Amino acid sequence: MHRMRLLIPWYPRVPLRTESLYFARWSSTGPPEQRGLMRFSTAEAAAKTGPPGRLREKTLTMATLNPQVKAVEYAVRGPIVIKAGDIERGLQQGVKQPFTEVIKANIGDSHAMGQQPITFVRQVVALCCFPELMDSPAFPEDAKQRARRILQDCGGQSLGAYSASQGVDCVRQDIAEYITQRDRGVPSDWNDVYLTTGASDGIMSILKLLVSGEGRSRTGVMIPIPQYPLYSAAISELEAVHINYYLDEANCWALDIEELHRAYLTAKQHCKPRVLCIINPGNPTGQVQSKKCIEDVLHFAYEENLFVMADEVYQDNVYSSDFQFHSFKKVLYEMGPKYFNNVELASFHSTSKGYTGECGFRGGYMEVLNMDPQVKAQLIKLLSVRLCPPVSGQAAMDVIVNPPKEHEPSYAQFTKEKSSILDALAHKARLTEQILNSVPGIKCNPVQGAMYAFPQIFIPPQAIQEAQALSLAPDMLYCLKLLEETGICVVPGSGFGQKEGTYHFRMTILPTPEKLKVLLQKLKEFHLRFLEKYSQQEAQMTSSSQQMSKQPD
């Protein structure tokens, strides 16, 4: 006769004080306070009710952190901006300051500074996001047509589907058509166009392809100084070699070809220069490079076998009537087949700048010329790792390159809004230059394009000594004091690079004209106080020193 064994379900052992909670998960009975714990697993319950255990050593610490991450610096969102956020939160909580608001002039974020969206851009993206609006008479037919075309190329005709890694086909086709029109007939192949998550994503992707080697064969990347900190941050992250070439401040930040040669020859002694980065119109410097300058740069790149990266996100932002935007591709084409069929060129554009300022959509594209076909396959592989850029950003990019035509119903409103924004920016560019140059100790080059001024500031020796004692760059001390006394947030020039012994700050021209005038007036008053304070300290110290030297031994 076999004995029958009673089969009892096995449960893992848990600490006595939490075991009941484990069973409570399976019961709908018991007191309410116990039933309320049913949502916790054993581990969760133990964490919430058990005694604190011994803290183990953390896996990720500053000692084990990737050193390239520690090397990354990004001044546009650096310590000044963090402090500005703290001050702003304090104001909201009633903390008294000598000002009533923080004016953030540190970043090119148009809508955050009050610029209104372009109606047609938002209409098309709204229709793409919510196609049920196609039945609404509030939306014009040309916006509906564009939305239908974009959705037709989306998986399931939904903006929520992944696109191909290179982007939605019809958007790439529209970009190629835009480039051809912009460059007055220079052909563009949509197979050379890649949608990106803002221009930054494309820039990073191309740099990843280019960086290789060890020691003296390590890739060197030539960047303008001053530069947009994305470049120095990316170079640090990828462990490439910075090759700084200095723009000519005395000549409105022009690019000097002799300086390119100097930087290149110096760098060849310790790395392999392979990449030349240009920002045109310039950020933070606001210059627009001449066609002759671009020709010289492309000839230099051809002779030295350099891959050219042309950051052209501000191509719509040209304010001086004496200058116009020339794309690197168009100039390369006009230099003849010898150059056009050989120089490797990647050019970048974005929804974030121009007249639209749609930073949050993170839309952008790059056009890549003369890339080795096998390398192009590797680029597509690399892009596929991040699946695809935001499809809503791709839709916004499409509208920017395919705006209303003259015969379409949205043309008049679109043209009015675009002109209004660009005219206002041109006015603010002139206003900023004029007021800054009226202040003793500040010198500002003309803001020919982009969205920024990068004035040089005189900092008295006593202030420099104080900054050194605090382990701060002198222009960082200046910007901190400006923020603390006026609520104005700008970025020190040391975050962008500058010639040794010179000091600058970068500010946007994006605030409304009324707010910009307030900002510039406050800045003027602060600068005069700053000069007076540190000049007096220096005079007092000089006087004390002279008196001591006159005392008898």
pLDDT one-digit tens code per residue, 176-199: 999 999 999 999 999 999 999 888
Residue 224's pLDDT band, with cuts at 50, 70 and 90, is very high
Q: Which amino acid is at 529?
A: R
For position 99, what pLDDT does the model report?
Answer: 85
Whether pLDDT at 24 is above 50: no
∠ at Cα 447 (445, 451), nearest 5°? 135
Question: Mean pLDDT over residues 422-440, rounded?
Answer: 94
Question: Mean pLDDT over residues 19-26, rounded?
Answer: 39
Residue found under tokens 């760059």: 473
Q: What is the pLDDT of residues 237-279, one digit of tens each?
A: 888 999 999 999 999 999 999 999 999 999 999 999 999 999 9
Q: How many CA atoms lie within 13 A of 415 on its CB side?
A: 9
Residue 37's pLDDT band, with cuts at 50, 70 and 90, is very low
Q: What is the pLDDT of residues 497-512, one digit of tens each?
A: 899 999 999 999 999 8
Of the listed ranges 21-25, 57-61, 155-159, 369-373, the least confidently predicted one is 21-25
For position 232, what pLDDT does the model report?
Answer: 87
d(CA 122, CA 128): 10
Where, residue-wise, is CATH 3.90.1150.10 in the chain?
Answer: 75-111+416-550
| 394 sits in which H/E element | helix 391-401
> What's 449's DSSP letter?
B
Residue found under tokens 């004091």: 481
Question: Mean pLDDT over residues 149-173, rounded?
Answer: 90
Whether pLDDT at 9 is above 60: no
Maximum Cα–Cα distance across the chain: 122
d(CA 311, CA 275): 13
d(CA 209, CA 90): 45
Residue 57's pLDDT band, with cuts at 50, 70 and 90, is confident
Of the listed ranges 62-66, 83-87, 336-340, 530-534, the least confidently predicted one is 62-66
Residue 58's pLDDT band, with cuts at 50, 70 and 90, is confident
d(CA 180, CA 316): 16
> 290 CB contacts (<8 Å, ≥6 apart)?
254, 323, 326
For position 126, what pLDDT does the model report?
Answer: 95
Arithmetic mean of pLDDT over the chain: 85
Q: Which fold has domain 75-111+416-550?
A: Aspartate Aminotransferase, domain 1 (3.90.1150)
Q: Which amino acid is at 518?
A: V
Whether domain 167-390 has CATH 3.30.750.24: no
Query: Is 23 or 176 the better-scoring residue by pLDDT?
Result: 176
For position 394, what pLDDT does the model report?
Answer: 94
Q: What is the pLDDT of residues 336-365, one digit of tens each?
A: 999 999 999 999 999 999 999 998 899 999
For position 70, what pLDDT does the model report?
Answer: 61
For position 461, what pLDDT does the model report?
Answer: 92
Q: How far is residue 518 from each of residues 76, 115, 489, measured CA to CA in Å?
A: 22, 17, 13
Query: Two tokens at 118?
Result: 């372009």
Q: How far is residue 316 from each of residues 28, 73, 182, 280, 323, measured CA to CA in Å?
A: 65, 28, 11, 11, 12
Residue 76's pLDDT band, with cuts at 50, 70 and 90, is low
- What are the backbone angles phi and psi of residue 304, rounded to the nearest 5°? -100, 5
For position 531, what pLDDT does the model report?
Answer: 92
Of the listed ranges 77-91, 116-130, 197-211, the least confidently predicted one is 77-91
For position 41, what pLDDT does the model report?
Answer: 56
Whether pLDDT at 4 is above 70: no
For position 479, what pLDDT does the model report?
Answer: 93
Where, residue-wise, is CATH 3.40.640.10 in the chain?
Answer: 167-390
d(CA 267, CA 206): 21
pTM confidence score: 0.82
Separation of first and last alpha carbons in the chain? 120
